[in-house]
C-alpha cells in the first residue's frame, strides 16, 4: 500500500515541496510531481551532497573531507519523514515534507543535522527519558524587498516600525495584518505559537513556539524561520534572524527551553516539590552538564561570526558560565515554578542557529551531566551574571570557539569524530571568510587618518 495519503494524490497542485536542512539550518529542497513523490516517499531520492559542501552563500568549502571537487559532488540518499507532512497555507495548501540523510556507507548521515539530533534523542529515550523542548525567536522586520536591500547595500533600511517598543500593543496593531498572518498561518502549518509580541528595538518581534517532543520541536523551529520569511515577503516585508543587526541595538535570541519527562510522558523529572527551589537532582546534573560542556561545543549554539557580537555584556545575552533561578543575565536560567512548566532555558542560543544542532547540543550536554552524575556545586548567581566571571567566560569569537571544539575530546564523545571534524571545518571556513573581508568599520577608522 502506498505511504502517500490520498489527499496528496488528489491535490490540485499536482506537486509536493521537499526539503532538507543544511549545516547552517538553511532549508534546501525542490518541488516534485505527485507521480514522482509516490516513488520517493517509499524509497527516498538522490540529492546532491553539495548541500553539505558549501556555505550559506553557495561557496564551496575548500577544507571539507566529506565532499568537494575531489569527490565529484555525488548524490546522497535523502529519506523523507512522512510524519512531517503538512500543508503550506500561503501556497494554496501545497503539501510539504521534511527529510534527512538516510544511513549509508558514504557516511552523509554522520554530518546531517537532523540525523545527529535523531541520534542524541535515541540515546535520551534509551536512558528512560522523554525530552520536551521548544525554541523561541527574536527577529527584525524591514519594509524592504531583497531587491531594495541590495540597492541600498544593506544600509539605511526602513524598519517595520520605528523606536524601542517592547511588548507594545500599539506597535503590534500597526501591522496587524502581519501579526495575524503569522499566528494563523503558522498554526495551519503545524508550527503553533504560544505567544507573539513586539520586542525592544525597531521592528522587532518575538515568538514562542509551542512545547513538543524534541524532534517535533526542532522541525517546528527550522520551519518557523523559513515560514516567517515567506509570510513576510507576501506582505512586502523582509525578516532577518541575524543575531546582531546593529551594535547600538539588542541582539536576537533563540533561547532553547527543555525538560526531561518519564518514559510514559506523565511526570516532569526536572520538578521536585520536596526541594526548596523545586529543582530535582536530575535537573541539577543536567545543568551541571551544560555548564561543563558549553565552552567546548559553543559553535553549535553560536555558529556565525555575528553570533559573538550578540554575546556582549549588558545586551540581554550571557557572557559567563553561570546559572540561576529566573535571572536573565546568566547563561542557564532555571524556571522551576510548576510540575508541568518546570524547565531550563539555555540563553546562550541566538536566533541565527540551526535548531537541530542547538537542541542536539543542549540535550547531549545535559545528558552528559546525568550520565556522569555531575554535581551542581556552583551556586546560583545573585544579581548580575556579567560580573560573575570566576566560573569561566564564553569564548569571545567564532575562531576561538571553533579551535576549542575542534580539539575537544568531549565534543567528539558527544557527537562523534566525523561530525566534529566536518562541522568545525565549516566554522573555520566561516571565520576565514570574515578574516579576509574589509569592513565599513575599517574604512571609517583608517581611510583618512592612518
Q: Look at residue 366 and give its three-state secondary structure.
A: helix
Q: For the residues 416-436, what does the mean pLDDT come to?
A: 97
127 pLDDT band (50/70/90 cuts)? very high
- Selection from 158, 179, 49, 114 nearest residue 360 by Cα: 114
What the block records as the C-alpha cell of 197 is 509580541
Q: For the residues 210-226, what does the mean pLDDT come to?
A: 98
* Distance from chain centroid for Cα 121: 16
- Selection from 448, 313, 434, 336 nearest residue 384 by Cα: 313
- Selection from 285, 371, 382 nearest residue 324 by Cα: 382
- Residue matched to cell numbers 559542501: 53
Contact predicate 177/188, CB 8 Å = no
Q: List, as one string, the DSSP characters of 64-107.
A: -SSSSTTTT--EEEEEE-GGG-EEEGGGTTEEEEEEEEPP-TT-
Does the pLDDT at position 140 exceed 70?
yes
Does the pLDDT at position 225 exceed 50?
yes
314 pLDDT band (50/70/90 cuts)? confident
- Residue matched to cell numbers 538553511: 26
CA–CA distance, 355 with 254 (Å, rounded to integer): 9
> Measured over all CA atoms, what is the biggest interatomic distance in the chain, rounded to whole angstroms?
74
- Selection from 270, 265, 134 nearest residue 212 by Cα: 134
Q: What is the pLDDT of residues 354-404, one digit of tens each?
A: 999 999 999 999 999 999 999 999 999 999 999 999 999 999 999 999 999
Higher pLDDT, 31 or 316: 31
What the block records as the C-alpha cell of 419 is 561530525
Does the pLDDT at position 1 exceed 80?
no
Contact predicate 322/385, CB 8 Å = yes
Does the pLDDT at position 41 exceed 90?
yes
pLDDT of res. 2: 63
pLDDT of res. 199: 95
Output b/e per residue, 237-267; b: 16+ Cβ within 10 A: bbbbbbbbbeeebbbbbbbbbbbbbeeeeee
- Count the Cβ atoms, other than its own, within 10 Å of residue 103: 15
Q: For the residues 127-132, what does the mean pLDDT come to?
A: 98
Q: What is the pLDDT of residues 261-307, one digit of tens each?
A: 999 999 999 999 999 999 999 999 999 999 999 999 999 999 999 99
Q: For the residues 113-139, what does the mean pLDDT come to?
A: 98
Q: Look at residue 441 and give its three-state secondary structure.
A: helix
Q: What is the pLDDT of residues 349-363, one digit of tens each?
A: 999 999 999 999 999
Contact predicate 308/317, CB 8 Å = no
Provide the terminal-to-terminal Cα distance of the chain, rounded to the nearest Å: 73
Q: pTM for this one?
A: 0.97
Q: For the residues 200-207, what does the mean pLDDT come to?
A: 96
What the block records as the C-alpha cell of 404 is 576549542
Q: What is the pLDDT of residues 161-196, one digit of tens each?
A: 999 999 999 988 899 999 999 999 999 999 999 999
Domains belonging to the chain, first-starting first, are 6-110 (3.10.20.70), 123-444 (3.30.590.10)
Q: What is the mean pLDDT of the chain?
A: 96
Q: For the residues 233-247, what does the mean pLDDT come to?
A: 97
CA–CA distance, 359 with 25 (Å, rounded to integer): 12
- Residue matched to cell numbers 577608522: 445
Amino acid at each position: 500500500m502506498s505511504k502517500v495519503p490520498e489527499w496528496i494524490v488528489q491535490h490540485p497542485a499536482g506537486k509536493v515541496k521537499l526539503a532538507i536542512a543544511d549545516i547552517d539550518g538553511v532549508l534546501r529542497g525542490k518541488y516534485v510531481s505527485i507521480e514522482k513523490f509516490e516513488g520517493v516517499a517509499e524509497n527516498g531520492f538522490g540529492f546532491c551532497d553539495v548541500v553539505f559542501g558549501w556555505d550559506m552563500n553557495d561557496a564551496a568549502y575548500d577544507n571539507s573531507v566529506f565532499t568537494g571537487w575531489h569527490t565529484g559532488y555525488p548524490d546522497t540518499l535523502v529519506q523523507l519523514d512522512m510524519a512531517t507532512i503538512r500543508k503550506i497555507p500561503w501556497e494554496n495548501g501545497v503539501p510539504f515534507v521534511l527529510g534527512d540523510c538516510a544511513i549509508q556507507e558514504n557516511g552523509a548521515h554522520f554530518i546531517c543535522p537532523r540525523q545527529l539530533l535523531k541520534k542524541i534523542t535515541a540515546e535520551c529515550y534509551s536512558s528512560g527519558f522523554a525530552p520536551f523542548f521548544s525554541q523561541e525567536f527574536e527577529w527584525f522586520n524591514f519594509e524592504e524587498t531583497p531587491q531594495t536591500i541590495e540597492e541600498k547595500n544593506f544600509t539605511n533600511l526602513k524598519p517595520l516600525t520605528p523606536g524601542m517598543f517592547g511588548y507594545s500593543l500599539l506597535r503590534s496593531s500597526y501591522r496587524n495584518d502581519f501579526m495575524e498572518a503569522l499566528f494563523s498561518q503558522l498554526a495551519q502549518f503545524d508550527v503553533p505559537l504560544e505567544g507573539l509580541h513586539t520586542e525592544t528595538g525597531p521592528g522587532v518581534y518575538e515568538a514562542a513556539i509551542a512545547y513538543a517532543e524534541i524532534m517535533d520541536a526542532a522541525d517546528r523551529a527550522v520551519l518557523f524561520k523559513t515560514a516567517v520569511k515567506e509570510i513576510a515577503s507576501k506582505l512586502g516585508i523582509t525578516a532577518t534572524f541575524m543575531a546582531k543587526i546593529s551594535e547600538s541595538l539588542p541582539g536576537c535570541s533563540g533561547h532553547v527551553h527543555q525538560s526531561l519527562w518519564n518514559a510514559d510522558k506523565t511526570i516532569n523529572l526536572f520538578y521536585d516539590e520536596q526541594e526548596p527551589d523545586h529543582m530535582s537532582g536530575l535537573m541539577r546534573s543536567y545543568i551541571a552538564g551544560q555548564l561543563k560542556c558549553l565552552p567546548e561545543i559553543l559553535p553549535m549554539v553560536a555558529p556565525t561570526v555575528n553570533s559573538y557580537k550578540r554575546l556582549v555584556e549588558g545586551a540581554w545575552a550571557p557572557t559567563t558560565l553561570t546559572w540561576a533561578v529566573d535571572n536573565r543575565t546568566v547563561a542557564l536560567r532555571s524556571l522551576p515554578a510548576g510540575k508541568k512548566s518546570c524547565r531550563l532555558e539555555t540563553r546562550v542560543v541566538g536566533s541565527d542557529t540551526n535548531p537541530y544542532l542547538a537542541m542536539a547540543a543542549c540535550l547531549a550536554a545535559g545528558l552528559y551531566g546525568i550520565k556522569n552524575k555531575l554535581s551542581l556545586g556552583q551556586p546560583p548567581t545573585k544579581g548580575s551574571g556579567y560580573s560573575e566571571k570566576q566560573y569561566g567566560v564564553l569564548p569571545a569569537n567564532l575562531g576561538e570557539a571553533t579551535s576549542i571544539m575542534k580539539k575537544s575530546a568531549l565534543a567528539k564523545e558527544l557527537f562523534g569524530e566525523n561530525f566534529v571534524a566536518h562541522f568545525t571545518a565549516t566554522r573555520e571556513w566561516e571565520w576565514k571568510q570574515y578574516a579576509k573581508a574589509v569592513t565599513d568599520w575599517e574604512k571609517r577608522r583608517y581611510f583618512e587618518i592612518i
